[in-house]
Amino acid sequence: MIIATPAASPLLDRVLDHAIMRMLVSLLIAGTLFAAILLLLGTNPLDAYAAIFRGSLGDSYGWSEILVKVVPFILCAIAAALPAQLGMINVGAEGQLQIGALTATMAALAFSGLAAPVLLPIVIVAGFLGGALWGGVAGALRSGPGLNEAISTLLLNYVALRIVDSFTHGLLKDPASFNWPFSPPFVDAARLPTFGDSRAHAGLLLALAAIGIVWLLLNRTRWGYEMRVVGGNPEAARRSGLRVGRYLLIGMLLGGGFAGLAGMIEVSAVNGRLQPGIGVGFGYVGFLASWLAGSRPFAIIPMATLLAIIAVGGEVLQISAKIPSSSVNVLMALILFAVLATRTLRLSGRLHRA
Amino acid sequence: MSTAPRPLLALRGITKTFPGGVVANEEIDLDLFAGEVHAILGENGAGKSTLMKTLYGFHRPDAGSIELDGKPVEIHSPEQGKRLGVGMVFQSFMLIPALSVVENVALAVPDSRILLNKGRLAARIKEVAARYGFSVDPSALIWQLSPGDQQKVEIVKTLLADARLLIFDEPTSVLAPHEVDGLYQVFDRLKADGLGVVFITHKMREVLSCADRITVLTRGRITGTMLRAEATERNLVQMIFGRDNAPPTEGEPIAAATLPAEATAGVGLPPFVELRDVVAADDRGGNGLKHVSLAITPGEILGIAGVSGSGQKELGDVLMGLRRPRAGTVLVDGVDATRWSTRQFLKAGVASVPEDPVAASVVAGMSVLQNLALGDHNVAHRPGWLGIDWHAVQHALDWLTAKFHLRLPRMDVPVQTLSGGNVQRMVFARELSRRPRLLLAYYPSRGIDVHGVAAVHEVLRACRAEGAAVLFVSEDLEELVELSDRLAVMYHGEIVATMAAAHADLSHVGLLMTGGAAPLVLSPSKETNDVLPAMTGPAELRVPA
């Protein structure tokens, strides 16, 4: 006769019960795998990691770059997290950012005669609306004909890039650009102020305010409650008379709007004009940050910061370790896989079902 | 060597505690012999399912041992359980709807790992089916089969996986009344083949009709095991509820005593809701409702009898604006509501307790309190779009807990930690707090214990007494007849007969439900006599085309 032993979970499992510890474990796994890849490339991983952290956290320039990068990461993470509350997958922050940058540029150039206190809000709203429009296209396709938004947002990313290209090569091309594809520069009144001499800018405040607003919306308003109902159980939402399609559209409009705001910030605060390649890749990093944060607004801030550190460090990596800066994208992808894999990881016992 | 026959399965001292300190099983000792049906009877949440899941390898017990054929075993996983010959026929079937019968069986049969010999497997399925008197078409797709036939596929599946003991978890809950007898015959056949059957149920009548031995489980403990010959309804009730708090015997809930058995309040009033020749799609694009005409008057309970899938769901969807009719008219209070949104129906006073409240009416991950605010567009919503008046919700909750004896640990617990029965009660309470004018009650007594059923009946009667119209859908004919004022029988999306419940003849209704009765020829045969003179209210007797 065998007495079944009580299912005492070993120490490691109890450690995994904490969300933060689980996160650290997955970062460790991703870091180890990336180290293996670096070894295969003939690079000493310890040197590479040292380069990443020295380049990002080692001096004040690195710090200010992190503050510049974290802004679009946070806003693009919101663009994924808000629709996620409704059970939708928005992979389109990339394109929504582009359209937001385009509409913000149009507004900045059209109203360039106005004073900053009037002009900046107009540019901000224009950027938000541009992103909202692009997100709204996918939202309308979902709530109407039922087209899967994960696919439509992804495809619309490419369309958005081409639209921006056509403007920078055409209507919006700076006559003084010697045929380079970019818009005329923004007037100073259309540019977000920076902090002192650094490149860090007021967009950071917008991003943090956006986090607060989204948290309030989701947790303190009836709309947020109803959004979470739609995301949690669409059938129950329908049965309680909620217009599910309308909420899906609103979710994509708002999410796209925040990505559009990121685009506005990139042209207004960082570049000062519209040109191809602005903000490319930020949408996907934001998506990753949202996943890492479990779509929780306040968890987005640390996750976006972590990814900003890696992204800034990656730029240094190219110089010091002589591997392409884009190789940190591999690290980011590994982090995503590790996080997904450890969400249900258990080291003892076999099946845990209710 | 002992001379007593060795049990096929012996459980000794099984204890299982869930996180949070809920003791689901405590010191359970149980024997199952080959060739017997051992029924496990208990209320909801008594620990029946937990015990069986332990046996099947879903959970590991905290303490205790399992012996198969006298040999101690540890069952870590369902795969291992299967290898040891434990077969489980689940309450909600584990079949893949888009695959055929053969393909589903192939998943469970050990010797079909790489290459799938469909022809051979189909032959084996037919062979087993024939032995048990089933007619199973191996090439049929699962979604095309009725729940009863799906259950047969489950049984064939476990038998072909060489199960020696079969666990049936609430098998009758998906069956039409006449299918239940078929299941008992399967039990007899399994016994004759020397297999052991564990039959989990909360229905006493079923236990008494087919079990050889009966074990009663109460709050995680065994309160007694007896042979069928020793068991009577009375001593089983005493075992379940204890001597002092036996439930009110059927038929005399408090509400019934104060109300006329057959409410006459509705007669003469205009109907609250009326369907005229309504055609509506089902989920597969066919016609789920075919020319249905129906009226429900305030103060009446209209019972819907029918085999599951006869159009009951579509009917409820139409009455809630979840499904737009393809043709026909819906009237609410005499106003054309054919194109109303769900919100408009809710505002007009329609409330619903769906067939599966856990899946369709609550949001997992949200607290009980948050779930109670759902769908309430009057009480809980503050003016404007900001905020929800959680105090109003809390207030409603306090009232409801008192009225329906909800035992909720805490208000802020996630709703998914409640048992299915408690979720249903919660949804009932939520819907009733809106003071509905039409209550759609779908299978409200399915899967709940005797106490619960009595409470549900009382609630429906109270609704009627307050002047609400009640659409009551159930698979239990006796319950339908007992509670309803009128009875409508649905078959294949049509209402084939409507009659006063008091005059309904159960066997005739059973035949109508399965399409077995001859189309109603308007001649004074005995059967039609039962139907025709009994009609009250806006008469709708349909002769099937």
> What is the spatial distance between Cα B498 and Cα B316, in angstroms, rounded to a whole number?
17
* Nearest residue of chain A to residue B72 (CA atoms): A1
Identify the pLDDT of residue B529: 37
Longest dimension (CA), chain B: 80
The pair of three-digit structure tokens given for residue B78, joined into one six-digit string: 């369902």
Q: Is A6 on the interface with B (CB under 8 A)?
A: yes
Is the pLDDT at A43 greater than 80, yes or no? yes
Q: What are the residues whose beta carbons fall under 8 Å from the beta carbon of A297, sequence distance 6 or more?
A: A78, A81, A211, A212, A214, A215, A218
Identify the pLDDT of residue B525: 37
Contacts 24+ apart (CB under 8 A), B281-285: B281/B314, B281/B323, B281/B326, B282/B311, B282/B314, B282/B493
Q: Is A243 on the interface with B (CB under 8 A)?
A: yes
Across A86-95, A201-210, A282-291, A311-320, least confident range: A311-320
Shortest distance between the Cα of B352 and any Cα of chain A, in A, equals 8
Identify the pLDDT of residue B111: 62
Comparing CA positions, the residue from A151, A145, A139, A156 lying closest to residue A248 is A139
The pair of three-digit structure tokens given for residue B260, joined into one six-digit string: 């006329």
Shortest distance between the Cα of A350 and any Cα of chain B, in A, equals 7
Q: Are B197 and B228 in contact (CB under 8 A)?
A: no
* Nearest residue of chain A to residue B67 (CA atoms): A1
Residue A225 with chain B: CB contacts under 8 Å: 370, 373, 388
B432, amino acid identity = L
Q: CA torsion angle for A306, A307, A309, A311 (degrees, to 10)?
A: 170
Q: How far is CA B541 from CA A21, A241, B491, B534, in A?
A: 67, 33, 13, 11
At A262-309, the pLDDT tens digits run 999 999 999 999 999 898 889 999 999 998 888 889 999 999 999 999
Q: If pLDDT is split at 50, 70 and 90, which confidence band does A249 have? A: very high
Q: What are the residues whose beta carbons fall under 8 Å from the beta carbon of A25, sequence distance 6 or more?
A: A15, A16, A342, A345
Identify the pLDDT of residue B524: 37
Is the pLDDT at A177 greater than 90, yes or no? no
Name the residue among A233, A238, A350 with its Cβ closest to that of B363: A233
Specify the length of chain A in residues.
Answer: 354
* Nearest residue of chain A to residue B319 (CA atoms): A239
ipTM over 0.85: no
Q: What are the residues whose beta carbons fall under 8 Å from the beta carbon of A296, sequence distance 6 or more?
A: A81
Shortest distance between the Cα of A222 and any Cα of chain B, in A, equals 5
Element (H, E) at B53: helix B48-56
Q: 3-state DSSP call for residue B213? A: strand
Q: Is A17 on the interface with B (CB under 8 A)?
A: no
At A192-238, the pLDDT tens digits run 998 888 888 999 999 999 999 999 999 888 888 889 999 988 989 99
Q: Please give the distance of CA B450 from its chain centroid, rounded to a whole number.
A: 14
> What is the spatial distance between Cα B295 and Cα B345, in angstroms, rounded to a whole number?
16
* Nearest residue of chain A to residue B18 (CA atoms): A354
> What is the spatial distance between Cα B435 and Cα A275, in angstroms, rounded to a whole number?
61
B 204-223: CB under 8 A from A: none
Residue B73 with chain A: CB contacts under 8 Å: 2
Residue B348 with chain A: CB contacts under 8 Å: none
Q: 3-state DSSP call for residue B196? A: strand
Q: CA torsion angle for B475, B479, B482, B486 (degrees, to 10)?
A: -20
Name the residue among A229, A233, A238 with its Cβ closest to that of B322: A238
> What is the spatial distance between Cα A191 and Cα A120, in angstroms, rounded to a whole number?
7
> What is the spatial distance between Cα A43 and Cα A35, in angstroms, rounded to a whole number?
9
Side-chain half-sphere of A183: how many Cα atoms within 13 Å?
Answer: 29
Q: Is A349 on the interface with B (CB under 8 A)?
A: yes
Shortest distance between the Cα of B539 and any Cα of chain A, in A, equals 30
> What is the spatial distance between Cα B175 and Cα B186, in angstroms, rounded to a whole number?
14
Identify the pLDDT of residue B384: 56
Comparing CA positions, the residue from B496, B484, B479 lying closest to residue B531 is B496
Q: Please give the distance of CA B37 from its chain centroid, rounded to a whole number.
A: 22
Comparing CA positions, the residue from B316, B416, B402, B418 lying closest to residue B366 is B416
> What is the spatial distance between Cα B448 and Cα B444, in angstroms, rounded to a whole number?
8
Name the residue among A3, A222, A232 with its Cβ closest to that of B365: A232
Q: Is A228 on the interface with B (CB under 8 A)?
A: yes
Q: Is A7 on the interface with B (CB under 8 A)?
A: yes
Per-residue pLDDT of chain B (545 residues; tens, 9 = 90+): 445 678 888 989 889 887 656 678 888 898 999 889 999 987 766 788 788 888 888 888 888 888 888 888 888 888 888 888 888 887 666 788 888 888 888 877 766 556 667 788 888 888 888 888 777 888 888 887 877 788 888 888 888 888 889 999 888 877 777 778 888 888 999 999 889 999 988 777 788 888 999 998 887 888 888 888 888 877 777 777 654 444 444 333 333 333 333 444 445 688 999 999 999 988 767 778 999 999 999 999 999 988 777 889 999 999 999 999 999 999 999 899 999 999 899 989 999 998 888 888 888 888 888 888 886 655 555 555 566 777 777 777 777 667 666 555 566 778 877 777 778 888 888 888 778 899 999 988 876 777 778 888 888 898 898 889 999 998 778 888 889 999 999 988 889 889 888 888 877 787 777 665 544 433 333 333 333 333 333 333 333 33
Q: Is A4 on the interface with B (CB under 8 A)?
A: yes
Test mutation, B17, B75, B342, B418, chain A, max A CBs within 10 A: B342
Q: Is A240 on the interface with B (CB under 8 A)?
A: yes
> What is the spatial distance between Cα B282 and Cα B309, in angstroms, rounded to a whole number?
10
A40 by Cβ neighbours in 10 Å (0-12 / 13-18 / 19+) ranks as exposed
Identify the pLDDT of residue A5: 37
> What is the spatial distance between Cα B199 and Cα B30, in angstroms, rounded to a whole number?
13
B 383-412: CB under 8 A from A: 385-388
CB atoms within 10 A of CB B268: 8
CB contact under 8 A, B362 and A349: no
DSSP annotation of A266:
I
Sheet harboring B469-473: ordered strands across?
B350-353, B438-442, B469-473, B301-305, B486-491, B494-500
Identify the pLDDT of residue B430: 84
Identify the pLDDT of residue B83: 84
Q: 3-state DSSP call for residue B509? A: helix
CB contact under 8 A, B363 and A222: no
User: How large a percentage of chain A has pLDDT more than 90?
Assistant: 52
> What is the spatial distance between Cα B422 and Cα B202, in angstroms, rounded to a whole number?
16
Q: How far is CA B189 from CA B5, B7, B84, B110, B185, in A?
A: 21, 19, 21, 24, 6
Average pLDDT for chain A: 87
